[in-house]
A = this chain, B = another copy of it.
Amino acid sequence: MQIKDLAQAARQASYTLSSLPVAERNKALQGIQSALIRYFPQIDRQNQADVRAAEEEKLAGPLLKRLRFDEKKRKDVISGIDSLIALPDPLGKTTLARELTPGLNLYRVSCPIGVIGVIFESRPDALVQIATLCLKSGNAALLKGGREALGTNRLLMQAMQEGAKGILPDGWAALLETRDDVKEMLDQDKWIDLIIPRGSNAFVRYIMDNTRIPVMGHAEGLCHTYVDASADTDQAVKITVDAKTQALAVCNATETLLVHRDIAAAFLPPCADALRAKGVRLLGDAETRKIIACEPAADADWETEYLDAILSIKVVSSVDEAIAHINRFGSHHTDAILARDEKAQQRFLSGVDSAGVYVNCSTRFADGYRYGFGAEVGISTGKLHARGPVGLEGLCTYKYHLIGSGQTVGEAEAGVIRYTHRDL
């Protein structure tokens, strides 16, 4: 089947999905869960074969770890579906109700976006998570996983299709298999409403530059932690170490540390010790290097997302300088201030132009699960529609229902009927 046909089938399916009551969508989720459990022995064997093949291709360790669909991940997938079923229906929620004139009422009601294309990494569990999130929110989905996971993904998709059969319209979800498929998908702006790419910066940029379909996601995660003059030094060390080292190759890890001049001498030495104990390489500006011994940071460092055990450090003279640095060099993902001074906190919260602006905690909290969204399809650093971790709500849009009893604009213009604009 051509991608164009898959996309068109998904569009058709999306019209049925949008009218499907939540009980039916949950029933489909249950069917999918049962089918996955039935398929698990077969999926396990296929996944082991995929892993062996990847080992022979000398795939890097972290990638192999992601590819492995072991018992823990299988359990997580099953309990993830339970959580999703338990979440309230994101559709049909009325977010505005207003009488325009007696007998003519306006309602803004949440509804699915339609057809969503998601391109993700080699984790087979991501396939199930994303497909079920799209389903719960009434969207049809075209899904492209990592090449190495194709065997596992095919079986997962087969199981999901089987589990939802008779409940969902054909075409509710489809698996794309090759890079050429992705290329073709990017041309289907007639049938696809949104593309969510996950992966390397270069990859996300490539997607953004090669489609007319709206793209939601993040190319970069260049997060900052700013230690204000009023910070609690011990707490600031603890949070900085977590923000940099709790995980390295993740978009919400801190890449640049900004330190207020007045606290630098007290904060930097113990912080540097703690970071070095975790194996972090430090790069500092001139003022930092007067306080701690470290390599010099070049201008390019302020715009580098290391995704590694490297941290660039800069001393600043005010919260405003920190905000200006973050707005200029950051990626509008997540940035934190560590401070006891409430004025500094407020200034940072309103001044930093990022999806997540944090006070006295680790940038690593930027995540759909941690926010209680159930799961996320991705994190958005764009400013429109959804920002930050995107869960069920970000997969919905709204439409206006206007319910009348014969009203015309001519009557309104003639003063026969009058606007009341009374919220109901």
Q: Give A contacts to B, CB under 8 Å.
A: 15, 18-19, 98, 100, 104, 106, 111, 113-114, 193-194, 208-209, 212, 214, 216, 232, 235, 238-239, 241-243, 246-247, 323, 327, 345, 347, 349-351, 353-362, 364-366, 370-372, 382-385, 387-388, 397-413, 419, 421
| A361 vs B401: C-alpha distance when bound (angstroms) | 11
A169 to chain B, nearest CB (A): 13
**A397 partner residues in chain B, CB cutoff 8 A:** 383-384, 387
Determine if B351 and A19 form an interchain contact, defined as CB atoms under 8 angstroms apart: yes
Given contacts A19-B350, A383-B113, contact A361 B407 (CB under 8 A): yes
11 A-B pairs in the complex with CB atoms less than 8 angstroms apart:
A15-B353, A113-B384, A194-B383, A208-B212, A239-B407, A362-B408, A362-B409, A366-B400, A372-B419, A387-B400, A388-B399
**A410 partner residues in chain B, CB cutoff 8 A:** 242, 246, 362
| A400 vs B365: C-alpha distance when bound (angstroms) | 11
Determine if A385 and B384 form an interchain contact, defined as CB atoms under 8 angstroms apart: yes
Which residue on chain B has the smallest CB distance to residue A109? B349
Interface centre among A214, A361, A403 (most CB of B within 10 A): A361
Specify how many copies of this chain sit in the oligomer: 2
User: Which listed residue, B209, B383, B399, touches A212 by the CB 8 Å rule?
Assistant: B209
| A216 vs B361: C-alpha distance when bound (angstroms) | 36
| A382 vs B235: C-alpha distance when bound (angstroms) | 46
**A323 partner residues in chain B, CB cutoff 8 A:** 15
Determine if B327 and A383 form an interchain contact, defined as CB atoms under 8 angstroms apart: no
**A383 partner residues in chain B, CB cutoff 8 A:** 113-114, 193-194, 397
**A239 partner residues in chain B, CB cutoff 8 A:** 406-408
**A366 partner residues in chain B, CB cutoff 8 A:** 400
A104 to chain B, nearest CB (A): 6
| A350 vs B17: C-alpha distance when bound (angstroms) | 10
| A305 vs B345: C-alpha distance when bound (angstroms) | 52
Which residue on chain B has the smallest CB distance to residue A327? B15
Which residue on chain B has the smallest CB distance to residue A18? B350
| A168 vs B133: C-alpha distance when bound (angstroms) | 44
Which residue on chain B has the smallest CB distance to residue A349? B401
Determine if A399 and B354 form an interchain contact, defined as CB atoms under 8 angstroms apart: yes
Determine if B15 and A361 form an interchain contact, defined as CB atoms under 8 angstroms apart: no
